[in-house]
Structure 1
């Protein structure tokens, strides 16, 4: 019987050791940053980023537009940027932006001549059939610009972009 208990104990120790190795491996992989770099010694595991949304929400459409539009402009893909403007922006806003861009010699959606390195969209509430958001653009030097954006709740089209 002692051989049987010893064998059971050995199996339990082996199983526990394997589980510990698997847990440590998982912890190491989970601690990797979003860009795939491994954490440095002593660095705590950070939560991996998450993005969610709904095609039914006008606020989500604002965030979707800015994320996609910035990607297209960053990649010098004018055709995609134009298509995104056509899909997400109301016709009156597109006409207004064209005038703004001719006057200011800059991108009216971004209110700048260059492309931000980061963006963030925060809801500022909804009412009277509209949803409002503040888009914060972060530039290469660390400065930020805040843009106020409004979308129609019914059509989900962006109807206003202002400084």
Structure 2
């Protein structure tokens, strides 16, 4: 029969070592101590984030793609890219009409403004006679009172190019 003395001694040594480790670690500040933990977003807030997707076959998606990229290019003051986007997404006769509008109004014809909107959205507004219609809403940040501009945009269902941009009728 074995003596139980070595087992008790081992337990006592391990217990003493654990106690010493705990005492030492209590004196060492935890990583990041003194800083607030990162905020935890509630599940409901995470669900509010808009999903961005699209299809190259959708004229509405192409209008959204154009306005998103165009506003970025104008915001970044990249005139070369803005011009290339116009050449790709806008039909030639619209580009000519926009040039005339811009000369007369001293503003960007795509945005109908001299500055860059803070936000934009594109909504489907129907289709017929070979065209798709969208409403582009541009939000201008002016502190606590943002304003919006609504544009009626027509696109060819055949080529998916934007064929007209004008002020949308008031709601």
TM over 0.5: yes
Query: 2:152 pairs with 148, 152, 161, which one?
Result: 148
Is 1:91–2:92 an aligned residue pair? yes
Partners of 1:64 and 1:46 lie apart in 2 by 24
Partners of 2:88 and 2:121 lie apart in 1 by 21
For residue 44 of structure 1, report the CA deviation from its aligned partner: 4.8
In the alignment, which residue of structure 2 is the partner of 1:159? 163
For residue 140 of structure 1, report the CA deviation from its aligned partner: 1.3
Can you give the 5+ residue segments of structure 1 that lack an aligned partner in the other structure?
Answer: 1-36
Partners of 1:46 and 1:103 lie apart in 2 by 45
CA-to-aligned-CA distance 1:76-119 (integer Å, 9 cap, x gap) = 01000000000000000000000000000000000000000000
Partners of 1:53 and 1:44 lie apart in 2 by 24
In the alignment, which residue of structure 2 is the partner of 1:108? 109
Cα RMSD between the aligned structures? 1.6
Partners of 1:68 and 1:156 lie apart in 2 by 16
Assess, with a 3 A threshold, how the Cα gap between structure 1 residues 127 and 78 changes in structure 2: closer, same or farther.
same
Q: Structure 1 runs of 4+ off > 3 angstroms? A: 37-40, 42-45
Assess, with a 3 A threshold, how the Cα gap between structure 1 residues 39 and 106 changes in structure 2: closer, same or farther.
farther
Assess, with a 3 A threshold, how the Cα gap between structure 1 residues 58 and 43 changes in structure 2: closer, same or farther.
closer
For residue 38 of structure 1, report the CA deviation from its aligned partner: 3.6
3-state DSSP of counterpart to 1:51: coil
Partners of 2:123 and 2:95 lie apart in 1 by 22
Map 1:2-151 onto structure 2 (within 5 A). 38-39=39-40, 44-47=44-47, 48-141=49-142, 142-151=146-155
> What is the number of equivalent residue pairs in this alignment?
126
CA-to-aligned-CA distance 1:48-88 (integer Å, 9 cap, x gap) = 33101100111111111000000000010100000000000
For residue 43 of structure 1, report the CA deviation from its aligned partner: 8.8
Q: Is the 8 A contact 1:39 1:45 kept in 2?
A: no
Can you give the 5+ residue segments of structure 2 that lack an aligned partner in the other structure?
Answer: 1-37
